[in-house]
């Protein structure tokens, strides 16, 4: 892809927490207008990768570029301006518990724009209508089901019409109906609004349905990539194990340990 076709470029990204390396040279590209899935087992660094895209973390090596700008080189003002072009649907929704559904969606509009209240009112209703919750505008977050809460979080993520939306485990903990609803909304909103989306998840079936392209991360690097539709038939050992939920493969079930007989002998002494 050319530079103009790429919204997010991640190059040789390294990062660790103290003595625990998490990202060990991740390189990938997010094309404009597409939904890209980033898949991997829990703890492989998917959320850490999103935090680099949003500028919350600074890489030890390599860089992340958003719309041609190196994220970690931006000063505070430029970073905040860049973040206004991003929407985020957090893993636990991240809604304000003391605000109504309406006020949650209105909050970023009031913080980041000078729009009059009547315009904000109409925009909030528009966003809620897009996720099917216009009638729930006066509810408190404590009155929402898990699926409704995710839809409100999605409405807030698109509140400022961002260029990029990042979804951190959007399908986790949802019943099948809510899960399918969220997946369809991600696809529909991306196409209707001309967005670019990054979906970070370990949910294989839904991510392969909704994404155009997928990357698989394991042990801190990209181990496979390709069109989402081609992944179920992939011969790559990691992809095959992950997509088909096989117990044996590159991802070991057992945490590294001493040989079992040695452990038993030590216990018997």
pLDDT digits 0-9 by tens, 231-244: 888 888 888 888 88
**146-157 and 176-193 helices, crossing angle to 10°:** 10
Question: Structural domain boundaries of the chain?
Answer: 3-85+163-268, 94-161
What's the mean pLDDT in 37-46? 86
Please report the pLDDT score of residue 102 as a whole number: 96
Largest CA distance in the chain: 78
C-alpha span between 36 and 140 (Å, rounded) = 32
Please report the pLDDT score of residue 55 as a whole number: 93
pLDDT band at 61 (very low <50, low <70, confident <90, very high): very high
Percent of the chain with pLDDT over 70: 97
C-alpha span between 132 and 121 (Å, rounded) = 16
- Enter the DSSP assignment of 134: G
pTM higher than 0.85, yes or no?
A: yes
pLDDT band at 269 (very low <50, low <70, confident <90, very high): low
Please report the pLDDT score of residue 3 as a whole number: 57
Residue 253 pLDDT greater than 80, yes or no: no
Q: Are 88 and 54 in contact (CB under 8 A)?
A: yes
C-alpha span between 127 and 246 (Å, rounded) = 40
Lowest mean pLDDT among 90-94, 136-140, 189-193, 251-255: 251-255
pLDDT band at 266 (very low <50, low <70, confident <90, very high): low
pLDDT band at 267 (very low <50, low <70, confident <90, very high): low
Please report the pLDDT score of residue 172 as a whole number: 80
Pick 3-85+163-268's CATH classification: 2.40.10.10, 3.40.50.300, 3.90.1170.40, 3.30.565.10.
3.40.50.300
Average pLDDT, the chain: 89
45: number of Cβ within 10 Å: 25
Angstrom CA distances, 222 to 32, 61, 108, 133, 217, stand at 20, 16, 34, 38, 4
């Amino acid at each position: 892809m050319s530079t103009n076709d790429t919204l997010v470029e991640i190059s040789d990204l390294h990062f660790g927490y103290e003595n625990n390396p998490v990202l060990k040279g991740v390189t990938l590209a997010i094309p404009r207008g597409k939904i890209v899935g980033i898949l991997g087992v829990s703890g492989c660094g998917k959320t850490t990768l999103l935090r680099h895209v949003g500028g919350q973390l600074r890489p030890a090596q390599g860089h992340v570029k958003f719309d041609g700008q190196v994220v970690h080189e931006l000063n505070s003002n430029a970073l905040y301006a860049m973040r206004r072009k991003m929407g985020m649907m957090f893993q636990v929704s991240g809604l304000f518990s003391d605000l109504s559904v309406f006020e949650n969606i209105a909050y970023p509009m009031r913080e980041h724009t000078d729009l009059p209240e009547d315009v904000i009112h109409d925009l909030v209703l528009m966003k809620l209508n897009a996720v099917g919750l216009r009638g729930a505008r006066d509810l408190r977050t404590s009155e929402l089901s898990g699926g409704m809460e995710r839809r409100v979080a999605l409405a807030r993520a698109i509140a400022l019409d961002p260029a990029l939306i990042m979804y951190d485990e959007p399908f986790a903990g949802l019943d099948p109906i809510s899960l399918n609803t969220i997946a369809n909304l991600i696809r529909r909103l991306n196409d209707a609004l001309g967005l670019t989306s990054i979906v970070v998840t370990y949910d294989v079936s839904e991510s392969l349905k909704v994404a155009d392209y997928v990357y698989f991360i394991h042990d801190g690097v990209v181990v496979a990539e390709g069109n989402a539709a081609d992944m179920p038939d992939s011969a790559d050992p990691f992809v095959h194990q992950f997509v088909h939920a096989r117990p044996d493969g590159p991802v070991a079930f057992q945490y590294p340990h001493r040989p079992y007989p040695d452990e038993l002998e030590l216990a018997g002494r």
